[in-house]
Amino acid sequence: MNAPQPKAELIRTLDEKFVANAIAFEAMIAAAALLVEGGLLRRPDGAIDLEGIRARFEAVTWHVPAMRQRLVPTPLRATTPAWVPVADLDVARHVTLHPTVERDDPDRVEVLTGRLSGPMDPSRPLWDIRIVELDSGRVAVVGRYHHVIGDALFGLRIGEVVAGTESSAAIPEVTDAEREALGVAPRTGFGILAIAFRAWRGRQQGVRGAWHEYWRKPFTRRLRRWGGRVIRPVKNAVIARSGEATRVLVPRHSRFLEVDLQPVAKHAYRLGGTVHDLTVAATLRAAAAAEPDRETVSLLVPISRRTAADADVRNHISMAKVTVPASAPMEELVPAVRAQVQAAVQDPTRRDLGERDWSGYATFVTWGRQQRYVGDAAIESVTGWPAGDPRDDIACLSCHYGTRLTICVTTRATTDIDRVMATIAESFAVPVGVAG
């Protein structure tokens, strides 16, 4: 095997907002829980085989470079932070066992959201997994990853490697080529800058193109961003000392419900949209129920801008704002959502979201119909818990896996989440005759 070469990758300027300060860092942690049959993750004595699970995930990380990278600042914080390889991963810090057995109950899901997994260490690779025993005998594999690693679609690609479509108890093989491909961290920060400059220079069309690209953005903007990086440690110290994070990152509650996908998809189609449109419409209706005095309600809807040419971009979404009358029925909401979302999809220009009057956001993702496994343990159900703006009141993510659709909702603790969930369940209820 050839000696691994130094590697580094600057994060995009647009992604830096996810780590702008301690509050943004904490708010931008997403989570997903894989609910699996528990027997195959246990030792013969019935205890969770934590060492075997750790060995599996340690091997898997060699197949997912993003799981073996950590963020480091560059000298004088001259650029955005950089991803550098981590050859010696402390897997015991990243894969842990929850200390107690929890109830397998869709109304008691705090442990599935990752909020009980403790703080994430910004000096290490920005992911972790907690193994949770449930009183039903099932086991929850609760994974968290930071939004700066990638958006939901990027996260699904990681999930497809972590949980494959073939059942296998064998630990994945790690080849010399995969170890070499990861690379090693540059010895110094200036080595990171050198790698970054060569990569940037290689993307430009000669000296003139490089000159034009550098000055394309105002120098004063670059200066402000650099100043923000320089004072970031001071800002974080002030946030910690003042207790601002506690005031901004208010307590939240979560719930989920599961429904059969096929009848819901038919129901959405007959209303004039898709499961995605139905998800957004149901969340808008729930937001209206939570704030009955409003005349209109709004939500943000993430839109992927990925193409085949930029499939490897970590974060590549834009936000569209959808606004509807608060009293509108589902027969009007679904077509209205579809029209506004499609208009945003067809308009690639940056859209002004206007006044911050939205209640939160809603989205839909699909993990496909194929059965997936953690090793040889079949995944029975999937819940997804998105990162979000701490000012939001409600966030909803519906996830298709197999033949089921899981609708996961998080609200502020002061919001009547039982009312929200009842409204969403009513919106997803399939009228008699549609299921056939």
What is the tens place of the pLDDT at every residue in 381-392?
A: 999 998 888 999
Greater model confidence, 1 or 343 = 343
Q: Which of 317, 327, 318, 321 minimizes the C-alpha distance to 280?
A: 321
Region 246-260: what's the mean pLDDT?
A: 94
The whole-number pLDDT of residue 432 equals 61
pLDDT digits (tens, 9 = 90+) for 325-382: 999 999 999 999 999 999 998 887 777 788 889 999 999 999 999 999 999 999 999 9
pLDDT digits (tens, 9 = 90+) for 186-234: 999 999 999 999 999 888 888 888 888 888 888 898 899 999 999 999 9
The whole-number pLDDT of residue 436 equals 52
pLDDT digits (tens, 9 = 90+) for 33-76: 999 999 999 999 999 999 999 999 999 999 999 999 999 999 99
Q: Is the pLDDT assigned to residue 393 strictly greater than 80?
A: yes
The whole-number pLDDT of residue 215 equals 85
What is the pLDDT confidence band of residue 8, given thresholds at 50, 70 and 90?
very high
Query: Mean pLDDT score of the chain, rounded to an integer?
Result: 93
The whole-number pLDDT of residue 387 equals 85
What is the pLDDT confidence band of residue 23, given thresholds at 50, 70 and 90?
very high
pLDDT digits (tens, 9 = 90+) for 83-107: 999 989 999 999 999 999 999 998 8
The whole-number pLDDT of residue 190 equals 95
What is the pLDDT confidence band of residue 433, given thresholds at 50, 70 and 90?
low
pLDDT digits (tens, 9 = 90+) for 124-155: 999 999 999 999 999 999 999 999 999 988 88
Q: Is the pLDDT assigned to residue 435 strictly greater than 60?
A: no
pTM: 0.92
In the chain, how long is the greatest CA-to-CA distance? 69
Domain locations along the chain: 1-96+118-128+144-249, 250-428
Do 301 and 274 meet the contact criterion of CB atoms below 8 Å apart? no
What is the pLDDT confidence band of residue 317, given thresholds at 50, 70 and 90?
confident
What is the pLDDT confidence band of residue 315, given thresholds at 50, 70 and 90?
confident
Do 314 and 150 meet the contact criterion of CB atoms below 8 Å apart? yes
Domain 250-428 of CATH type 3.10.180.10: no
